[in-house]
Amino acid sequence: MSSGCVLVTGGAGFVGTHSVIELVNAGYSVVVVDNFVNASHESLKRVEEICGAKIPIFSVDLTDKQALADLFKKHKFTSVIHFAGLKAVGESCELPLLYYKVNIGGTTNLLEVMKENNVKNLIFSSSATVYGTPEYLPLDENHPTGGCTNPYGKTKYFIEEIMKDLSKSDPEWNIVILRYFNPVGAHKSGKIGEDPQGVPNNLMPYCAQVAVGKRKEINVYGNDYDTPDGTGVRDYIHVEDIAIGHVAAQKKIEECCGLKIYNLGTGQGYSVMDMINAFSKAAGKPVQYRITGRRPGDVASTYSKPDLAAKELGWKATRGLNTMCEDLWRWQTMNPDGFNSSRPTPKKT
């Protein structure tokens, strides 16, 4: 059992909910804050059911520094896992100021309040988007960052830089930055999963909505890339593997590690067509798709070199492509309208 209370910001979101479960299972006490702009209270009720434990949940926006300060007075946190932020690439191009205010402003508020309360242990949810267009593959942690193609990616990059500067200025800080590749799948119970608001931005939730009959077909943006089948290649990783990575990062923090950066990926690239075919197999029906033109800003291939996390965190992704697709399909069929579905319907066998 582990001691200490971990504050999880954005804990009602996709990766946040799965990570809360793993933290509770590992013996941590957890407090969740979320502003519920892109998340649902229902997701955390389901987390409590899965864990068999009550979790203190506060509706706080990180841009409200006073509310954050009040929370730190109520609870003695030993560390913070920071997921909260806006994350739609397209929207970030339309609303850059909002993204800078929420993601960067929210983070600097959090860091200031942590500092004021002498809580100097932090895990940050970053993204492989900080690498921009790959100069070489696979991407390791030493690959240059900052050539981001959209404001969302830039916010992740700027926050990483802020954290590096903070760490240099005060060696008491222990910060682990986790750069995830493409989280997919869902909890094996089928009770929680990714619940995009409106049209999904990501391939796999879109596949699931086509298979369940909510959408007609999926657009495949470009089939003339320099890849084995011409469609874009990405490193997809099961969300439960990512969640377990956060527990490993929390244990690293407890060693007083200073600033560390790790990729969380499988190291295996799959193409868009690989994913559509694997998902069709899991769903037992073909997912309809249509080939269209390339999207600006998309790169042909990107996948991780995850060796450093294996070596230093003792962490490795263990769930394969079939498990990712089966778990996503279970979530989608049990919850066709996401967390707005009345309650999960047991899957017919």
The 10s digit of each residue's pLDDT in 53-82 is 999 999 999 999 999 999 999 999 999 999
With a cut of 70, say whether residue 103 has pLDDT above it.
yes
pLDDT of residue 201: 85
Q: What percent of the chain has pLDDT over 90?
A: 91
- Known catalytic residue at 225: no
Q: What is the DSSP pairing of strand 233-234 with strand 270-271?
A: antiparallel
Q: Which of 28, 99, 131, 152 is catalytic?
A: 152
Predicted TM-score of the model (pTM)? 0.96
pLDDT of amino acid 1: 36
Asked whether the predicted pLDDT for residue 314 surpasses 90, the reply is: yes
Nearest by Cα to 66 from 31, 98, 100, 109: 109
Counting beta carbons within 10 angstroms of the beta carbon of residue 101, is it exposed (0 to 12), middle (13 to 18) or buried (19 or more)?
A: middle
Say whether pLDDT at 306 is over 70. yes
For the chain, the average pLDDT equals: 95
pLDDT at 311 over 50: yes
Record the tokens describing residue 190, joined without a space. 């089928």
Q: What is the pLDDT of residues 286-297, one digit of tens each?
A: 999 999 999 877
